[in-house]
Structure 1
Amino acid sequence: MKAIFVQFKCDPGEAYEVADIVVRTLEETSEIYSTSGHYDLLAKFYLPDEADIGHFVTSQLQTIKGVKDTFTLVTFKAFS
């Protein structure tokens, strides 16, 4: 499994609804947080090693009603 972090910019007033949709509909979701700053939400997803990250983001995340923009971070190694 590989972890990715995605920040979401949402339409005004839609961040909580977007978070609810992500949690309810995407089994890849590990965690999602509301944030301050340029983006409204930060989510962590675990994808299978063979998964196409670009396809996941463009077809599963950017198409959610209320999502204006995303910023994706790909991770390499987890430290504990």
Structure 2
Amino acid sequence: MQTIFISIKCERGKAYEVADELVDLPEVSEVHSTSGQYDLLVKCYLPDGQDIGHFVTERVQTQPDIADTFTTIAFKAFG
């Protein structure tokens, strides 16, 4: 299982709508509202071998009202 975190910048006033759409994706574990440069932080679990780039560009970035994303690949969880 691969763990990735996606920081998402939404169009103004659309963070809640975007979050509601993303929680329905089966790969999405958690969606958090955040302060700062990005509006949402999304934790995803992808099966081993699934292409992260295709998931982000085809399943996440194509959602309405997403202006920008920043993806972080997690190596190991502690505790």
Equivalence for 2:37: 38
Aligned-CA RMSD value: 0.5
Counterparts of 2:23 and 2:76 in 1: how far apart (Å)? 24
Equivalence for 2:65: 66
Equivalence for 2:7: 7
Q: Secondary structure at the match of 1:56?
A: helix
TM-fit CA distance, 1:23: 0.7
Counterparts of 2:32 and 2:75 in 1: how far apart (Å)? 21
Deviations 1:21-54 (A, max 9, x none): 0012x10011010000000000100000110000
Q: Secondary structure at the match of 2:49?
A: coil
Q: Trace 1:37-56 onto structure 2 (pairs within 5 A).
A: 37-56=36-55
Counterparts of 1:78 and 1:42 in 2: how far apart (Å)? 17
Unaligned 5+ residue runs, structure 1? none
Q: Sequence identity of aligned pairs in percent?
A: 59
Q: What TM-score, normalized to structure 2?
A: 0.98
Q: What TM-score, normalized to structure 1?
A: 0.97
Q: Secondary structure at the match of 1:12?
A: coil
